[in-house]
Structure formats: C-alpha cells, structure tokens
Structure 1
Amino acid sequence: APPYAELKPDRWLAEVCREEMRRLGREPVAPEVEAALPMGSTDMGNVTQVLPGIHPVVGVDAGGATVHQRAFAAAAAGPSADRAVVEAAIMLARTVVRLAESPAERDRVLAARERRADS
C-alpha cells in the first residue's frame, strides 16, 4: 500500500469552510479543482480515511510563481502570505464554531472519533 492514502475530505466541513472563505472575501477553488491539486507528501489523506477532516487551500499572491520557485518563496514571506495565514486561521475557527453549533454534524463527527477510538 502507498504510504499516503488519497485525501477524502468531509463534504459538510469542506462546504462550511468554503462558505467561511467567501465571508472573508476569498474565492475558493471548486471542489473538483481542489481535488486535482497536487498535495505533495501529506498523511492527511490517511487521517481522512478514518476521521472527518479537510485540507483547505488558501492562496498567496505570488505573481504567477509556483511552489519551489524563488519568487514564491519571497511571496510566502510577504504581506499577502501573512494575510492568508491570518484569514485561514479565522476560516478554520469559524468552521469549528459552526460544527459546534450544529448538533447533528457535531454528533456525526464525534461518533466517527469514537468509532476510531474503539478500533
């Protein structure tokens, strides 16, 4: 088996996260586009095979540069990246609050955790 399983994002959490991204003035990529993005090496796919989870992507204004290029590294240390990190933290916090405020979804996520703890 490959060391990293395919990412299996929780649909409800992912949609709430996209809504919160929009509230912050950011336009999320479509789910099918996000699913096709290269994720590199991450064990988050392994996690999402057994627990509800998400792996949102928040953009940085890198002037067209892509990861592993010097221009991207410079942009990742700039104001656009600082703003992206703060907004991503807000987006995730709001997603967790909405989960806490939704009894059915909260129970579903907690039940998944309990199933995992029992195995």
Structure 2
Amino acid sequence: TAPAYAELAPDPWLAETVRAEMLRVGRSPVPSDVEASLPLGSTDMGNVTQVMPGIHPVVGIDAGGASIHQPAFAAAAVNASADTAVIEGAIMLARTVVALAESDVERARVLNLQERRAS
C-alpha cells in the first residue's frame, strides 16, 4: 500500500520565488539545502506536490523555543509574532502568485501541468 503521506516535492520555481518574497518581507528562509534534506513534518501537501506544482513554505513565529505540537507552541500561536507571521505569509504567497501570473513561461508551464492532471 502507498504511504499515507508522500514526500514533499516542491516546485523549484515556486519555491525559489517564495524564498525571494520571504527575504523581501525581512524573513530568513531555511537554507535551500537544509530544507531539501529534512522532512519538515508530515502533511498531505506531499501528496499534492506529487501530482501538481506546489510549495510548503515554513514561516516561523517567536515560540520561545517551543516546537509544534507542544502546549507552549499553541500558546505562542496567539501572540503578535504569530499574527505577523500570518500576515507576512499571506503577502509572500500572494506575491508568489502574482509573479507566476506575470511570467508567461511559468504560467504556461503550470497551466500545462494542470491540464495534463485534469485529463
């Protein structure tokens, strides 16, 4: 049987574009080589990226050293740092979509992949 969660396979162009947007809003993305070598959690987004272009950016919050799935992280997820992460994350993703829409080559590539997926 297939694993419940497939390995993430981020689209390289989308991943580099969102990384540039992270820098643009003043965030420090995880280095590309580190991001590529580590499983950064289990998610069905891996399944999605196996069949269509996608990304799974990591946007940090000030969690005081707590990691996800801990009560202290849950508490930190309702602070100003988390609010900023949500807003900046939305900006980064929106700008990535705009960049995709503005690139004739990349837009055509993604639409072609979407069309192949639908058929």
Fold match by TM threshold 0.5: yes
Equivalences for residues 1-119 of structure 1 within 5 A: 1-35=2-36, 36-40=38-42, 42-118=43-119
Distance 2:27 2:70 in 1: 24
1:54 match: secondary structure: coil
2:59 match: secondary structure: coil
Distance 1:2 1:74 in 2: 32
Tell me the C-alpha RMSD between the 2 structures: 1.0
Distance 2:66 2:47 in 1: 29
- Aligned residue pairs: how many? 117
1:49 match: secondary structure: helix
TM-score (norm 1): 0.94
Distance 2:48 2:70 in 1: 29
Structure 1, 6-15 or 65-74: larger mean CA deviation: 65-74
Aligned letter for 1:15?
Answer: E
Q: Deviations over 1:53-102 (max 9, x none)?
A: 10000000111111122221111011000000000000000000000000
TM-score (norm 2): 0.94
Distance 1:32 1:117 in 2: 32
Identity value in percent: 69
Q: Deviations over 1:28-49 (max 9, x none)?
A: 0012322314312x21111111
List runs of 5+ in structure 2 lacking aligned partners.
none
